[in-house]
Amino acid sequence: MKKEIIRKFAALAACFAVCAGTSCGKVERPDDKENVTVSGNDSATADASATTADGSSENQSELLTIPITTDENTSQAATSAGTEELPVSGQPAEDTSSYTASGGDSPQTTSGAAVPSQTVTGTGSSQTASGTASGSQVTDISLTFYEVTLPVGASKMPMVTMSPSTAENKDEIWTSSDEKIATVDSLGNIKAVGEGICIITVKSADNPAVSASVQVTVEAAKEPAVADGVTYIEGILIANKTYALPASYNPGGLTNECYSAFMNLVSGAAADNINIYCSSGFRSYESQQYIYNNYVAMDGQAKADTYSARPGHSEHQTGLAIDCNIIDDSFTGTPEAIWLENNCHKYGFIIRYPRNKDHITGYKYEPWHIRYLGVEKATAVYNSGLCLEEYLGITSQYTY
Q: Would you name the residues annotated as active-site residues?
A: 366
CA distance 173 to 206: 10
Nearest Cα to Cα of residue 386 among 399, 368, 373, 400: 373
Identity at 213, one-letter amino acid code = S
Q: Are 20 and 71 in contact (CB under 8 A)?
A: no
Which helix (H) or strand (E) element contains residue 378?
Answer: helix 375-384
CA distance 257 to 277: 17
User: Which ranges constitute the DSSP H helices of 215-299?
Assistant: 256-271, 285-299
Nearest Cα to Cα of residue 254 among 161, 318, 158: 318
CA angle 40, 46, 47 (to 5 degrees): 145
DSSP symbols for 116-154? PPEEEESTT-----TT-PPPB---EEEES-SEEEEETT-
Could you tell me the sign of the dihedral formed by the alpha carbons of 372, 374, 379, 385, in that order? negative
How is residue 167 annotated by DSSP?
Answer: B
